[in-house]
Amino acid sequence: MFKYFKPYLGKGFLAALFKMGEAFADLSLPLIMAKIIDTGVLNKDFDYILKMGSKMIGIAAIGYCCAILCNYFSCRASQEFGANLRDSIFTKIQHFSFNQLNKYSQASLITRITKDVDQITNMFLMCVRMVLRGLTTGIGAVIMAVIINPFLSIIFLVIAPLIIFLTTFYVKKSFKLYATVQKKLDGLTLILRENLSGLKVIKALSKEKVEEERFSEKSDDLQEKTIEADSLMLSKLPFITLIMNIGVVAVLWFGGLRVHYGKLQVGEVVAFINYLNMTLFSMNALSFLFTLYSRTSISYQRVKEIVDEKIEVVKECREIDENSKNIIEFDNVYFAYNGSDKYILENINLKIKRGEHIGIIGGIGSGKSTLVSLIPRFYDVSKGSIKVDGVDIRSYCGDQLRKKIGIVLQKTFLFSQSVKENIKWGDQKASEDEIKKVCEIAQGADFIDKLPQAYDTDVTKGGNNFSGGQKQRIAIARALAMEPEVMLFDEPTSALDPEMIKEVLDVMRDLAHEGMTMLIVTHELGFAKNVANRIFFMDQGNILEDTIPEELFNNPKHDRTKEFLNKVLNK
């Protein structure tokens, strides 16, 4: 984690320097006060009191200036460190594989990049402001107390170990509790996200009361665990306050006796009590910081878990064979999700030539979408290899592979930007004419031109101001803006009505006529018949049939294929 803070060491050092200046200013004041009492007050020397009082004001002003400068540099360093850490985590998540994304829930990632980073940032800020001052003031106060009277300073040696023991005991007990609190917070965030995303469904099913009770239950659970953890840490404060007060009483008792016998002056007793209070205040501040550390250590581990995730980097890019006969090749491919012993795909061997239009059909859970998701390397194969343009996809550098592949997913996602900006996600350098051209190919130009601001019309959250068919055509235009060599369609019509299905089918036909290589996962057999020139029928992770549409529909070879077609076609 140090590498993220390293650029701000200079500001951190200045903050520490000014905080130490403030601490030294504070340490000098009790000694001056002692002189005022012993020399000025007892001797009724008003000029001396005025002179030393002015000196105190000057030193206090210097301490005040140091405090302001420390706060400025510590805030700058901590917030810039936090921003850098957040940016780095966000960038890291953007490069996660799908397997890595599956390890963490969305709610957990959001909490880590916001609340957990804030917790670490606040801990750093408190370290500069409180730990450094606490250590400097505490150690300095003990030294000054020993100089004033070594005998009374024995009180420090008795009090300090007791406070350190209490603090350590409570911190150790709180670790597990605060870890549980963070997990409960993740769970609450997850429910909140689900409810905001699925609000229409909740209202349609009249489940508002159920969801209110579910949220309330999780919220109450978080409340109880937080109260338990905070109560544990706060319960030590009365003990520490008691020890501090006993120390003050001891100083007054033994100090008073020594004043009585002429071994100590009144001003020195006052200074000693001030140094005792400084020491105990420092210990109390450090105790508070240990409480903060209990929570921050959990946040640190959660953030570190993301930071330490390794992103595979291809060190040497392979040369691409643009003249390769087969654009996509699967060679004895097996695939299983992380942590699973069961293969989703088994022994997949296939070669797809340029310009082929592949329809992929099969029952639910047959592995159709998984097969397609391996091509842009959303997941890595467990065994075997996949080649695009004659090169193993694991040998492509950066976004070199995905620039070749346009993807239209089952659930279309549009960003809250203008239509034009959404399409430019495919190519940020696309000109106005190029954007209009891909929209014409995607058959979206007509309805976009009729929008209030045409291509500059804003898309609302989730694209709710567009129909399903319109969103699909914008998504297709976005993919085409990349000028891909291959188009992957994963159930592009699953949520569309018959009229919109026909519109998307027309787009597919146009792309087929343009010679685009396409793989279409679909439950619509009309797609397979009218667009595909080759069909894969999949079942339980295997390709049972690989043939032309006429052969599959008129003369299927496998009993499982016949059973599937009979059910779908109601034969």
Encode pLDDT of 404-446 as tens digits: 888 887 777 778 888 888 888 877 787 888 888 888 777 778 8
Let me know the angle formed at the C-alpha of 488 by 482 and 493, rounded to the nearest 5 degrees. 115
pLDDT digits (tens, 9 = 90+) for 218-232: 888 888 888 887 787
Q: 485, 306, 330, 443: which is closest to 393 by C-alpha? A: 330
* Start-end of H helices in 379-513: 419-423, 432-441, 445-449, 468-480, 498-513
The tokens describing 393, both together, are: 């996809």
**What SS3 string covers 69-123?**
HHHHHHHHHHHHHHHHHHHHHHHHHHCCCHHHHHHCCHHHHHHHHHHHHHHHHHH
Q: What is the mean pLDDT of residues 333-339?
A: 80
pLDDT digits (tens, 9 = 90+) for 73-105: 888 888 888 888 888 888 888 777 777 777 777
pLDDT digits (tens, 9 = 90+) for 145-157: 788 777 777 877 7
pLDDT digits (tens, 9 = 90+) for 252-301: 888 778 777 777 777 777 887 788 778 777 777 776 677 677 677 777 88
Average pLDDT, the chain: 79
pLDDT digits (tens, 9 = 90+) for 29-57: 888 887 888 777 777 778 888 888 888 89
Q: 378, 392, 384, 371: which is closest to 334 by C-alpha? A: 384
Name the most confidently modeled range: 149-153, 202-206, 446-450, 566-570.
446-450
Q: What is the mean pLDDT of residues 501-529?
A: 72
Task: Record the pTM.
Answer: 0.62
pLDDT digits (tens, 9 = 90+) for 441-486: 777 788 888 888 888 888 887 677 777 777 877 888 888 888 788 8
Name the most confidently modeled range: 18-27, 122-131, 487-496.
18-27
CB under 8 Å to 262, separation ≥6 — which residues? none
Q: 532, 485, 504: which is closest to 442 by C-alpha? A: 504
CB under 8 Å to 373, separation ≥6 — which residues? 98, 379, 490
- 569 CB neighbour count, 10 Å cutoff: 9
**Residue 357, phi then psi, degrees to nearest 5:** -120, 105
Measure Cα distances from 493 to 312, 367, 411, 469, 510 in Å.
Answer: 34, 18, 9, 8, 16
502 — pLDDT class (breaks 50, 70, 90): low
Q: What is the mean pLDDT of residues 194-204?
A: 71
Per the listing, tokens 């020890």 go with 243
pLDDT value of position 47: 84
pLDDT of 552 strictly over 50? yes
- Side by side, which strands form the sheet with 345-353? 345-353, 326-335, 383-388, 391-392
pLDDT value of position 61: 92
pLDDT value of position 494: 64
Does residue 522 contact residue 408 with C-beta atoms inside 8 Å?
no
314 — pLDDT class (breaks 50, 70, 90): very low
Measure the CA–CA gap between 280 and 138, rounded to whole angstroms.
8
- Between 502 and 310, name the one with better pLDDT: 310
pLDDT value of position 444: 78
345-353 and 357-362 beta bridge pairing = unpaired
Measure the CA–CA gap between 215 and 290, rounded to whole angstroms.
32
pLDDT value of position 499: 63
pLDDT of 138 strictly over 80? no
pLDDT digits (tens, 9 = 90+) for 385-397: 888 888 888 887 7
